[in-house]
Structure 1
Amino acid sequence: MEATGRSVSSNHTFNSSGDDSQWEVSDNIKLCRFLCYGSEGDKYTAREENHPSMDRVGALLALLQEGQGVLVVEEIKRFAQNGQAVRLDPCIFALALCSQHSEVKTRQAAFNALREVCQEPAHLFSFIQYKKQLKEDMKCGIWGRALRKAVSDWYNGQDALSLAAGVTRCKQREGWSHQDLLRLSHTKPAHEAIALISKYVTKGWKDTQVAYTDKDNSDEVVKVLSYLEVVEKVKHSCDETEVINLIEEHKLEREQLLTDHLKSKSVWRALLKEMPLQSVLKILGKMTAKKVLQPESLETQALCERIQSEAALKKAKVHPFSIQLACENYKRGQGYQGKTKWAADSSILKALDSAFYKSFLNVEPVGKNFVVAVDVSTSLTSVLPGTSVSTAVAAAVIAMVFVKTEANTHVLAYSEGALKLCSVSADMTLAQTTDELVKIPGGSTDCTLPITWATKKGKAVDVFIILTNNPVWTFTASPVETLKKHRQKTGCRSKLVMCGMTSVGHTIADTEDRGLLIISGFDLGAFSVIRNLAQDLM
């Protein structure tokens, strides 16, 4: 979002004469950084939860002061809806802040966007809690007419059966419950199915049964009533077979079960059949350790087929990096706390390997020219923080993502004074790609070498992705100045991502250039950060 009212995604014509004004880190850019990863600064730290707070949103406040609140809300919606945000919390916090702004149009826009940004009950609870926190210093209530209407519209705008599943799966969060929100918002149900759910939430199942038994109910009400009856039945059932049948027939989720139910291996097997694939990948070790998944069992075979099903992978939008993380963690045979241990099942490992290559179809091309440069000056046997993935394998996966999805990607391996163009192709395996990256000998690090190489070769590069393990970045020249020279020679809107894969403390002096970002560590969110930068979205 530009000061003129244009979005930051709007195309700009690059001035090859070296005009620096377009590269200034404006309040618009800072806002987009905050919505993407929770900080207005130029550094994204992998796996770090940046809890939104007033001291992190100076640019957002400045834009509101300038009367750009409606445009701010549009940016919030864009980042929340298009998968551009690493986490939704910053977007929800920003929306809550806009909903309390003094300008009426900004408040209206924020409340009108509530259903689009907060699509799940957990998101709605977070929004209400952020509003409470923001109001505490103001010594006043939060439940004005506008919020009551927005919350009422949220409930009334839901598909009834989906809402029934949502309120039974996520009953409360952040100190708020659905009963609280329906009561405080004075929600008047828009139709009978929503009235049924409202009664169930506020009065309980027995009163709901009494109110709707022997009544001439619509088909929709009958469906919702039957679903709620199933949820209540499973809550009071001690019969393992009955619980399993209810899970399989009505696709119940573990949040709707009792803790005692989850002690059963058979119950877990039933849950795994419909559990979201992303969730399955995270608990493979636990399920193997608990003997829920056993070698050569029918359940294990069925799960392996699902893991490597192109249709299932596409539906879940699983990224190759997620699968590789899951594979390495599973292969490790031990949880990070050291308490849970398992022997990795070879058929599951084989399925994960197959799924890894198929999942590249889920990565949408950006359509830019990339250089992925891997620093080989230090050992690549260390691991990404909080994972079991070596930095060599991680670098290979990153390179493969761009080589397989972007038509014009160059992969380089470099150290002090030495740089090699790697022969990485889209048909290579992960092992082959990893081997290709570590062929040249190490030395000390000069992270500007890849940019200098592209400039001398006359290759117009949209995004340089520099990967390094080195705890100290060294440069023969300023990375910003080196990047500027490349822009001037090629006329390209080149950007630079400096990634310290094992570190959390890297900084580069003089980074008031919006085309340069720093990543500390690497996780799935880092791909979103790179995509947003490449597409000029921040």
Structure 2
Amino acid sequence: MANKSVFASLKGRLLPAASAKNLAGAPAYTYSDAHALAQLAMTGTFGQTFYQDPMQELSRTLELAQKVDPSFLAKAAVYTRAEGHMKDMPAVLLAVLSGRDPILFQRVFGRVVDNGKMLRTFVQVMRSGQTGRKSLGSAPKRMVANWLTGASDRALLQANVGNDPSLADVIRMVHPKPASKAREALFAWIIGKPCDVALLPENVQDFLRFKKTGRGRVPDVPFQMLTQLELSTKQWAGIAENASWQMTRMNLNTFLRHGVLALPKMRRMIADRLRDPDLIAKARVFPYQLMTAYQALSAEMPEEIREALHDAMELSVQNVPKLRGQVVVAPDVSGSMSGAVTGFRKGATTATRFVDVAGLVSAAVLRRNPSATVLPFEVKVRETRLEPRDTILTNAARLADQWGGGTNCAAPLQWLLKKGRAPDLVIIVSDNQSWAHNQYGNAGTVMMQAWEKLKQRNPQAKLVCIDIAPYGTTQAKERADVLNIGGFSDTVFDQIAAFAGGEMGPDHWVGQIEAIDV
């Protein structure tokens, strides 16, 4: 026989050669600058992760933000805020844009800075000096001032919660020109200057009276303004009654602690609110937010509230599509998936890990596609039986419990080959830091080699790689049958369906960002 290392099959030799090393030191593929920025922007949170510290992530973000066209940068900032519900990253992209293209910056400012917290985050980023300047500059200063003068009273009160910078700091910095005596009084009150109390919004006046006397109905102001006060259980119930959906989700343990959930009527009302489909849609609920809320529940939380969160999760992923043919979904449960999705951030680290998100995506696909095969993997596949009728949260937790081991992104494909399977669609959910096959050469990554063999069985098969970490490389080279998506928002499910159905090409994810009108 001829030497196989010299006379390898033509199909194998045409596989794209690995073009980079991932952060685990193994062969990988790089993205284009635009795709790399999109992937980073949809997953990055500037926290300490398994392979990367916050400054490395920031450096990579700034490098890519300078390389791409300013128009794409503007669109990425809008997309990551509107579709990805990201927080810090859109502010960073917007800050870079302010220096690269002030006109585009002004066009998209209001679409990125859509609430007071985002406003304060943007100012914080600008003042840090990390994006090239320590002062706001004329255009950013004008846009911040315009936001302050145009915001509603309630939006300003909500923005008046938090520090570094506080809203008072921002007002002193940009000197907004109030359009009315009432707004002038509100600005003065926020920054601690004397003002005509009679001109303040009615709810602020109610708050000042309540703070002074402790009597009467709890004022309708942001929850955080009331936490400094000594309140009765009845008054806490009043706060819970007026709470938004997101505030309710974030303060279940607080309500429990103050006796609100011991009141049957209040417990029932809060449970009904949590599972209300209209409120869930209006709140733009991110499925992992529900998972985080569930994971953080006190052991004493009433079962009625736990069940309501299960119901809310089912509703939040209703747009997960039914997929044609044989579907396989493979969540990475390896050791590097143990980090928090926000990274480690002192005082603000979420309980939700990358492995939890991988389990969540897999469980959501299984809920809508009961015949799908779920293959959790690390160096090898861990065969786990899931019940499609179990709740998403239950199945996601079951998958996350498989955590541990090295990383071999080829493992689920190798398992399918060994079992003689020929699926129509394979979905991999991973951080892409595969290292268990430290092999180099011209034949591509081990994952691409396995995929090519699987394609020989089913030429129409498609592979979707959902990358949920901000590391910037992939194990599967993008081509007509391979789609790489960054992030873990529910828009990912629509993209999977469109790609599987032949309605979009592998570059369509970046194309969606490109399609945004700025």
State the TM-score, normalizing by the size of structure 2: 0.67
Q: Does residue 448 of the first structure (1) align with residue 424 of the second (2)? A: no
* Partner secondary structure for residue 428 of structure 2: strand
- Mapped contact 1:80–1:88 kept (Cα < 8 A): yes
- Mapped contact 1:293–1:300 kept (Cα < 8 A): yes
Q: Judging changes above 3 Å, is the alpha-carbon distance between structure 1 residues 208 and 70 closer, same or farther for their aligned structure 2 residues? A: farther
Which of the numbers 193, 198, 201 marks the counterpart of 1:225? Answer: 201
* Partner secondary structure for residue 176 of structure 1: coil
Cα deviation digits, residues 278-332 of structure 1 (max 9, x gap):
44334333433443422x633223323333334444443445554454345436x
Name the structure 1 match of 2:196. 207
Q: Does residue 152 of the first structure (1) align with residue 121 of the second (2)? A: no
**Rounded Cα–Cα distance in structure 1 between residues aligned with 2:234 and 2:52:** 33
- Mapped contact 1:73–1:95 kept (Cα < 8 A): yes
Q: Does residue 403 of the first structure (1) align with residue 366 of the second (2)? A: yes
Q: Judging changes above 3 Å, is the alpha-carbon distance between structure 1 residues 73 and 174 closer, same or farther for their aligned structure 2 residues? A: farther
- Mapped contact 1:373–1:467 kept (Cα < 8 A): no
**Rounded Cα–Cα distance in structure 1 between residues aligned with 2:140 and 2:334:** 56
* Counterpart residue type for residue 92 of structure 1: A
* Partner secondary structure for residue 109 of structure 1: helix
- Mapped contact 2:447–2:476 kept (Cα < 8 A): no
**Rounded Cα–Cα distance in structure 1 between residues aligned with 2:167 and 2:243:** 24
Q: Judging changes above 3 Å, is the alpha-carbon distance between structure 1 residues 485 and 152 closer, same or farther for their aligned structure 2 residues? A: farther
Cα deviation digits, residues 158-201 of structure 1 (max 9, x gap):
3xxxx212322332655434444445434334567655544554
Name the structure 2 match of 1:270. 238
Name the structure 2 match of 1:36. 42
Give 1:25 shift. 0.9
- Mapped contact 2:271–2:308 kept (Cα < 8 A): yes
Name the structure 2 match of 1:132. 127
* Counterpart residue type for residue 105 of structure 2: A
* Partner secondary structure for residue 147 of structure 1: helix
Q: Judging changes above 3 Å, is the alpha-carbon distance between structure 1 residues 97 and 184 closer, same or farther for their aligned structure 2 residues? A: same
Bigger CA drift: 109-118 or 147-156?
A: 147-156
* Partner secondary structure for residue 34 of structure 2: helix
Give 1:117 shift. 0.6
Task: Report 1:361-510 matches (<5 A).
Answer: 361=318, 363=319, 365=321, 371-373=328-330, 397-405=360-368, 409-412=372-375, 425=388, 427-429=389-391, 447-452=409-414, 457-461=421-425, 463-465=427-429, 473=436, 478-486=446-454, 490=459, 494-497=463-466
Give 1:445 shift. 8.6
Which of the numbers 241, 244, 256 marks the counterpart of 1:288? Answer: 256
Name the structure 1 match of 2:7. none
**Rounded Cα–Cα distance in structure 2 between residues aligned with 1:443 and 1:21:** 24
> Relative contact order (C-alpha < 8 Å, sep 6+): which is higher?
2
- Mapped contact 1:466–1:497 kept (Cα < 8 A): yes
Q: Does residue 238 of the first structure (1) align with residue 214 of the second (2)? A: yes
**Rounded Cα–Cα distance in structure 2 between residues aligned with 1:374 and 1:74:** 30
Name the structure 2 match of 1:111. 106
**Rounded Cα–Cα distance in structure 2 between residues aligned with 1:76 and 1:407:** 36
- Mapped contact 2:95–2:122 kept (Cα < 8 A): yes
Q: Does residue 62 of the first structure (1) align with residue 92 of the second (2)? A: no
**Rounded Cα–Cα distance in structure 1 between residues aligned with 2:52 and 2:235:** 31
**Rounded Cα–Cα distance in structure 2 between residues aligned with 1:417 and 1:203:** 61
Which of the numbers 247, 252, 257 marks the counterpart of 2:221? Answer: 252
Q: Judging changes above 3 Å, is the alpha-carbon distance between structure 1 residues 57 and 512 closer, same or farther for their aligned structure 2 residues? A: farther
Cα deviation digits, residues 201-248 of structure 1 (max 9, x gap):
467463363xx5xxxxxxxxxxx7333322433343322xx1xx143x
Aligned length, in residue pairs: 455
Give 1:19 shift. 7.0
Cα deviation digits, residues 419-461 of structure 1 (max 9, x gap):
8796854x455699689989x9x99996534324667644332
Q: Judging changes above 3 Å, is the alpha-carbon distance between structure 1 residues 153 and 461 closer, same or farther for their aligned structure 2 residues? A: same
**Rounded Cα–Cα distance in structure 1 between residues aligned with 2:332 and 2:244:** 36
**Rounded Cα–Cα distance in structure 1 between residues aligned with 2:492 and 2:53:** 17
* Counterpart residue type for residue 167 of structure 1: L
* Partner secondary structure for residue 429 of structure 2: strand
- Mapped contact 1:52–1:93 kept (Cα < 8 A): no
* Counterpart residue type for residue 495 of structure 1: V
- Mapped contact 1:73–1:109 kept (Cα < 8 A): yes
Instruction: Flag structure 1 segments of 5+ consecutive residues without an equivalent.
Output: 1-16, 213-223, 334-342, 520-524
Give 1:109 shift. 0.9
* Partner secondary structure for residue 464 of structure 1: strand
Q: Judging changes above 3 Å, is the alpha-carbon distance between structure 1 residues 533 and 254 closer, same or farther for their aligned structure 2 residues? A: same
Name the structure 2 match of 1:91. 90
- Mapped contact 1:447–1:474 kept (Cα < 8 A): no
Identity %: 15
- Mapped contact 1:367–1:407 kept (Cα < 8 A): no
Name the structure 2 match of 1:73. 74
Q: Judging changes above 3 Å, is the alpha-carbon distance between structure 1 residues 306 and 130 closer, same or farther for their aligned structure 2 residues? A: closer
Cα deviation digits, residues 43-62 of structure 1 (max 9, x gap):
98699978973454211122
State the TM-score, normalizing by the size of structure 1: 0.65
Q: Judging changes above 3 Å, is the alpha-carbon distance between structure 1 residues 458 and 171 closer, same or farther for their aligned structure 2 residues? A: same
* Counterpart residue type for residue 58 of structure 2: S
**Rounded Cα–Cα distance in structure 2 between residues aligned with 1:175 and 1:383:** 26
Give 1:72 shift. 1.2
Cα deviation digits, residues 463-509 of structure 1 (max 9, x gap):
333699x9985699812332355567635552334789xxx9xx999
- Mapped contact 1:371–1:409 kept (Cα < 8 A): yes
**Rounded Cα–Cα distance in structure 2 between residues aligned with 1:423 and 1:166:** 45
Give 1:530 shift. 5.6
Name the structure 2 match of 1:221. none
- Mapped contact 2:321–2:494 kept (Cα < 8 A): no
Give 1:95 shift. 0.9
Which of the numbers 504, 509, 514 marks the counterpart of 1:537? Answer: 509
**Rounded Cα–Cα distance in structure 2 between residues aligned with 1:443 and 1:187:** 55
Task: Report 1:351-362 matches (<5 A).
Answer: 351-361=308-318
Give 1:127 shift. 1.4
CA RMSD of the aligned region, Å? Answer: 5.2
Q: Judging changes above 3 Å, is the alpha-carbon distance between structure 1 residues 168 and 317 closer, same or farther for their aligned structure 2 residues? A: closer
* Counterpart residue type for residue 371 of structure 1: V
Name the structure 1 match of 2:5. none
**Rounded Cα–Cα distance in structure 2 between residues aligned with 1:388 and 1:178:** 29
**Rounded Cα–Cα distance in structure 2 between residues aligned with 1:47 and 1:444:** 17
Q: Does residue 123 of the first structure (1) align with residue 118 of the second (2)? A: yes
Name the structure 1 match of 2:4. none
- Mapped contact 1:25–1:512 kept (Cα < 8 A): no
**Rounded Cα–Cα distance in structure 2 between residues aligned with 1:532 and 1:47:** 30
